Amino acid sequence: MKYLALAGLLVAHIPFANIAIADETPGNQTEIPTVEQDFVNVIHGFDKTQIIEQFGEPAKADDVKIKGSDKVVASIWQYHFINTSADGAYYETTELDFIDDKVVTVVFLNNNGAESNDNDQTYEMPTAKPDL
């Protein structure tokens, strides 16, 4: 009887969950919001092409490749003054970290995002078994 009651509760909430998810998908939203929390909530659903359509080319873009290969495994893009905090103040830099074509990390910076050193961004892939 406990399982039947639990199943009933779960089924009763499924339509509401679908509606909430549907409202947050980019298909229902053509413009990417710029206020930080709204931006973070939806940016993962937009691909690089859609991001460029709204914000233009990034101010800085770096591709991360596997050492000895031209295969791009990740990208790091930086934009300037596109996002605001809840009080309306602009962040100087927004960094978008991609794997393939999707945003996986968003970082808001109160600086220009420049690094003091320009490292080689190629990495060796780990071996399946560590050499002992």
Is this model's pTM higher than 0.75 or not?
Answer: no
Q: Where are the domains of the chain?
A: 2-115
- What pLDDT band is residue 132 in, cutting at 50, 70 and 90? low
The rounded distance, in Å, linking the Cα atoms of 84 and 74 is 26
pLDDT in tens, 69-95: 888 899 999 999 999 999 999 999 999
Q: How far is CA 3 from CA 9, 10, 12, 13, 98, in A?
A: 10, 11, 14, 16, 42
Tokens of 82: 């596109």
CB 71 within 8 A of CB 125: no
Quick check: 102 pLDDT over 60?
A: yes
Give me the pLDDT at residue 61, please. Answer: 96
pLDDT of residue 18: 29
- Tell whether the model's pLDDT for residue 23 goes beyond 90: no
The pLDDT of residue 3 is above 60? no
